[in-house]
Each structure stands twice: as C-alpha cells, then as structure tokens.
Chain A
Amino acid sequence: MQKPLEFTLSVKDFLTFLLPEEASQVGTEKFKQAVVKFYAEQFAAVGGATIVAVDDANISVQWIPDEVAKNPFGYALDLLNHGELSEAVPLLESFLAAAPDDVDTLYNLGMAQSDLGSLNNAIRHLSKLVELQPQHVNGLVALGVAYQRSEDSEKAVEVLEKAVKLDAQNGFAHRNLGAVLGKLDRNDEAEVHLRAAYQIMPQDQPSVYGLAQCLDRSGDEDKLAEADELYLDAIRLDQLPQVTELARQARSRLAQQSFSSATPGGIRMDAMMYCLAALETFSERKCEERRMRLGYSEGMDSIQMTRRANTSSELYPASILAFN
C-alpha cells in the first residue's frame, strides 16, 4: 500500500524563486497561499490529497495517497497488523478526536497503547469502551491485560471474570484469566480456565503452553506427564519461536528431573526417549540453522498479545496470554 508522506520545512529553507514574484516575501499572506498552491500542484499528478499548513516559522506538508484517504481506518489497521504501533497510535488518536465514542477506535487505540506500555492511556480508553459497550468481550479481555500489565492483578481478574461470564466460549478470555490466576498462585482455578482455553483453541500454541505450564507447576506426577505431552504439542505447533523455545526448555528440565529420580543402576526409558528426541531435534535444527538462525530472546515478555485481521463483527479478537 502506498504510504503517506509528511514533512516540515522552515519557511527560511523554502526556495522562494519557485513562487510568483509577488508572493516571494516570506511571512506574507500571499507567500503562504502561494506555498499551499505550489505543493498542491506538485502532488496533483500523483493524486491523493495534499494538506499544507504554513505559519510564520514552518511549512508542514502531508500528502495522503488515494487508498489511504478513502479508508484511513483501514490504513491504521494495516499498520497495527504489521506491528507498526507507534505509527498507528497518532492516527487513531486523531480519529478519536473526531469521534470520541467510536468503540472500534477506542479498542484498537487501547490495545496499541497497552502494547507500547502506555498503560494509563490504554486503561482509560479501554475502560471507556466497556462503559459504552459493556458486552464488548474482547474489550474486557484487553482491559484485563492492561490491568495485569500495570500490576493490578485484582482488577485484571475482576474484568477477565466478567469477560468469561459474558462469553464462556471466548478462548482468549479463559487463557488470560488462567494466566493471571496462575500468577496469583491460584493454580487450581487457573487450571480450569486454561483447560477451557485449550478445549476451545487446541491449535493455539500459547494456550497449549499455558496449560502445560500450569500442570507443570502442580508437581502432581500424573499432571507432569500430561504437561510434558502438552509441551511437546506446543513445540510441534511452533507458532511463536519464543514459546517453542520455552517449551523445549521446560521439556528438557522435566527430563532432567526424571533422570535424577531414576532408581540407581536403572535407566528410565521415558527419560531416554526425551534425550533421543532432543538429539533428533538438535540435528534437524543444525541443518535448519545453516540457512536461518532465529534469535530467541532470553526470556518471554510477561504478556504477549497477537492480533488478527479485521472481521465484520470484531476488529481484533484479543489474543493475550500472561506467561509466568
């Protein structure tokens, strides 16, 4: 998609001989009008819209291509979908100034600000959204995550529970509620929600990993075996490299625990299988890495949010998970 072009010049830097002689006196009305006309003419051939503002010090020019001018909100969403949050936020703020109660703008702006760490603004906008539309489940989920990010777990649980109550089939609501409860050491309650999330979205890697982690924490022998299976599934799904890596590390830790608890002189076959699998994976990865080495961050961001494409009914089903 063609992108807008924006720039600012000092009036001192503008080449006045490009203007008619009678308009060449900087700072005069004629000068200002001539500058506006100059840029409008320059960009006329490429279509789109040109906005020029001239004051005594600066000339600000914004050229907006046709496809953006026709659908500015679509452009902002495109930016969000490509992770260009800092660029999208000012655009969304300008939409909000024009339509302060627009729920789609409030939702997307709140989500972007939450991702950028502007948590007070995110909470303000998302709170307004759920005030205007109390049934907006994804808005509640996003608000819950923003609260969790600002370390207000109580509020996060309150809002996420409301989301789950409103829509028991919303996997993201369960997933995030489970993650927050896990952080609060309410593991049994967390497990209920993470199981629900897994049931609703069995192919969602963060849900699979989140449940595995919860079961892993329980320390229960049977649950550990299930956790290991789930970690393996998370590795197979391989949607987010960081999650895949964390799942690998978790499996390796479980394997070490199994080894150390093995009876003296005997070799536990399940632990042996982990090692073989790890070796196989290692050799596969070595080949792969020759072409492509992916950088893994040292630790996971505590909360991760992904977005989906715009649909007619909702903009971004909040897909959020708090990792412990």
Chain B
Amino acid sequence: MALVSATQEILKLVEQETGTPVEVLADPSIGVLAKVRMARGKAPAHLITYNPTKRGADYNIAYECGFILRLYENPPEARFEFAGSESGRKSVRRALFEKKQIKRMGLPETAVRELADKMFDGLMTQLRSLPIGLRIDKWLWDAHPDLREMQKESIMRQQQDNVQTLGPQISEITASSVFFANVSMNLAFAIFFDRLIGRDLYAVPYRSAGFEYVGERLLEIIEDEIPSDAQHDVALIDAWADELKISDWYQWIPIKQDR
C-alpha cells in the first residue's frame, strides 16, 4: 500500500528524530487499528503494525508515530514504560466477583478472573494511550490537514464504538470502577472531538447519562493544567488517573537504555 506524502514525512521525521528506522507492517489479524513496538534491545527498528482492513491506515500509522516522537522528546533517563500493577488487577477482580449480575450468571471462577483481567488490561491501555493520544490528534489536526478527512473518519468510527459502552447490559457486567473510568475517558474524547469539528454531537449520549462533569474535568486537565510538551506526558497520565481514582493501578518503569 502506498502511503500518502504526509505519512511518509512523519515516518521520515521519526527516523530523523530517533536515529532509528521505522518498519510498517500490515496485519489484518490485529484486533486494534494499529500498534507500535519501539526499538529496543534486539529490535533494531520501531515496528508499526496496522490493520489494513480498517479505513484510514495513513492516519493510524501517523498516530502511532506520534507516540514514538513524544517518547523520544524526553531525554533517555526520563523515558518510562507504563505497567499495570498487581494491586490494580486484584482490585478489578474483587470488584467483578462482587457484581450481582456476574454472580447470577454463575460463571466459573477462572472465567470471571479472565474477564476481569481483560477489563483491567483494556483500561490500562486506554489510560496509557488516550490522554497522550489527544495531544497527538491535536498535532495531526493542526499540522497535517492532508490527513484530516481520514482522521475524522477514524475518530467518528471510534466514537460510535465507544458510545456502545453506555448500553444497558454493559455496566451490569463491568467492575464499577472500570466502567466509570472507561466511560469518563470516552466522554473526554467525545468532547475533545466535538470541539475539534465544531459540533456538539458525540458528547450528548454521555451527558444524558450523567457523565458530563468528569469528562469536562479530564479535558480541563489536558487543556489548562498540564503543559502540552512531551516532558509532561507522565504527569498528564498521573493527573487523569488521580481524577479517575485509579492512581495505584499502574507504575512507571524506567526504560533501560541499551542503545
């Protein structure tokens, strides 16, 4: 697949800024739009894998590049890896075992644990990606108008997917703390996108379900409280986690410098 020039420029920028080649791999089997594995140890290149069956591959690749660029804007000693904590995982498992609907379903213990782990891992990925992702989206929107249509298209699709979490059965089978944090972040994303496209559309469902305050608060943190440079990315995630009351669900591990 030929990439548009804006994406090629961004890939070049990543190679220049990090001094490391970028490999882009199409893989229809990945469950997400795209993912990145940054160069480290035996991996001599940054590897961006994208799902070619999803629309907007260029935007998805550019978005992943944003994460690499932001990490490398930090000096090596200030680069951290995000990892979910055991206490967070246990807390989600406990909460899920307590859910009435889960008890009623009579699922085996291992299945409930697996479900809880999936919820926990998903939420951690969201917390790790979304706040910084909003910074990246803003950058792409402003600096790369060529990608804008694709970006809009992709985000609209994500908004449609995200709003399904408000559905009647979801909260009944989700650990409450996970549900609250997930929907709050989804709302922050919805408000962010509404502002970007100048329409009040995607936040409406959340507002009618009573999530407005916390979503606005998360955006306030990103827009007014934490500086937008990459050196504050860790602080940004910490501030969101604090607001969502999940500060002890993860830890920051310094990235070992082997290059």
Residues of B within 8 A of A39 (CB): 204, 208
**B53:A83 contact, CB within 8 angstroms:** yes
Residues 152-194 of B, flagged 1 when their CB comes within 8 A of A and 0 if not, give 0100110110011011100100000000000000000000000
Across the interface, A9 reaches (CB within 8 A) one of B21, B27, B205, namely: B205
* Minimum Cβ distance to chain A for residue B47 (Å): 9
* Minimum Cβ distance to chain B for residue A4 (Å): 8
**A5:B209 contact, CB within 8 angstroms:** no
**A58:B163 contact, CB within 8 angstroms:** no
Cα of A43 to Cα of B26 in the assembled complex, Å: 38
Chain B interface category by residue count: 20 to 34
Is A98 interfacial (CB-CB < 8 Å)? no
Closest to A12 in B: B168
**B210:A15 contact, CB within 8 angstroms:** yes
Cα of A42 to Cα of B203 in the assembled complex, Å: 10
Is B25 interfacial (CB-CB < 8 Å)? yes
Within 8 A of A (CB), among B1-45: 1, 3, 11, 21, 23-28
**B167:A46 contact, CB within 8 angstroms:** no
- Asked if A8 meets B25 with Cβ closer than 8 Å, knowing A15-B208, A61-B205, A292-B3, the reply is no
Residues of B within 8 A of A6 (CB): 160, 163
**B209:A9 contact, CB within 8 angstroms:** yes
Residues of A within 8 A of B201 (CB): 5, 43, 46, 63
- Asked if A2 meets B156 with Cβ closer than 8 Å, knowing A7-B205, A42-B204, A294-B1, the reply is yes
- Asked if A14 meets B209 with Cβ closer than 8 Å, knowing A46-B200, A63-B201, the reply is yes
Cα of A13 to Cα of B171 in the assembled complex, Å: 10
Is A97 interfacial (CB-CB < 8 Å)? no
Is B202 interfacial (CB-CB < 8 Å)? yes
**A13:B205 contact, CB within 8 angstroms:** no
Residues 20-47 of A, flagged 1 when their CB comes within 8 A of B and 0 if not, give 0000000000000000001100110110
Main secondary structure of the interface of A (DSSP, over half): mixed
Within 8 A of A (CB), among B135-155: 153
Cα of A38 to Cα of B208 in the assembled complex, Å: 9
Closest to B168 in A: A10
How many A-B contacts are there with CB distance less than 8 Å?
89
Residues 286-324 of A, flagged 1 when their CB comes within 8 A of B and 0 if not, give 000111111101000000000000000000000000000
* Minimum Cβ distance to chain A for residue B101 (Å): 13
Residues of B within 8 A of A61 (CB): 205
**A291:B160 contact, CB within 8 angstroms:** no
**A3:B199 contact, CB within 8 angstroms:** no
Is B103 interfacial (CB-CB < 8 Å)? no
Residues of A within 8 A of B23 (CB): 289-291, 293
* Minimum Cβ distance to chain B for residue A3 (Å): 5
**A295:B28 contact, CB within 8 angstroms:** yes
Residues of A within 8 A of B157 (CB): 3
Residues of B within 8 A of A69 (CB): none
* Minimum Cβ distance to chain A for residue B214 (Å): 13
Q: Which of B21, B25, B55, B209 has the most CB of A within 10 A?
A: B209
* Minimum Cβ distance to chain B for residue A59 (Å): 8
**A45:B200 contact, CB within 8 angstroms:** yes
Residues of A within 8 A of B11 (CB): 291
- Asked if A295 meets B25 with Cβ closer than 8 Å, knowing A42-B204, A63-B201, A82-B55, the reply is yes
Residues of B within 8 A of A5 (CB): 159-160, 163, 201-202, 205
**B209:A292 contact, CB within 8 angstroms:** no
**B208:A295 contact, CB within 8 angstroms:** no
* Minimum Cβ distance to chain A for residue B197 (Å): 9
* Minimum Cβ distance to chain A for residue B176 (Å): 13
Closest to B194 in A: A46
- Asked if A7 meets B163 with Cβ closer than 8 Å, knowing A15-B209, A18-B208, A38-B208, the reply is yes
Within 8 A of B (CB), among A45-87: 45-46, 57-58, 61, 63, 82-84
* Minimum Cβ distance to chain B for residue A116 (Å): 13
Within 8 A of B (CB), among A249-295: 289-295
Cα of A57 to Cα of B205 in the assembled complex, Å: 17
Closest to A2 in B: B156
Which chain B residues have a beta carbon within 8 Å of chain A's beta carbons? Answer: 1, 3, 11, 21, 23-28, 52-53, 55, 153, 156-157, 159-160, 163-164, 166-168, 171, 199-202, 204-205, 207-210
Query: Can you list 9 residue pairs at the A/B interface with Cβ under 8 Å?
Result: A5-B160, A6-B163, A7-B163, A7-B167, A46-B199, A61-B205, A82-B55, A292-B26, A295-B28
Other A-B contacts than A3-B153, A5-B160, A297-B28, 4 sampled, CB-CB below 8 A, are: A5-B163, A7-B164, A10-B171, A293-B26
**3 nearest CB pairs, A to B:** A10-B168, A15-B210, A7-B163
Which chain A residues have a beta carbon within 8 Å of chain B's beta carbons? Answer: 1-10, 13-15, 18, 38-39, 42-43, 45-46, 57-58, 61, 63, 82-84, 289-295, 297
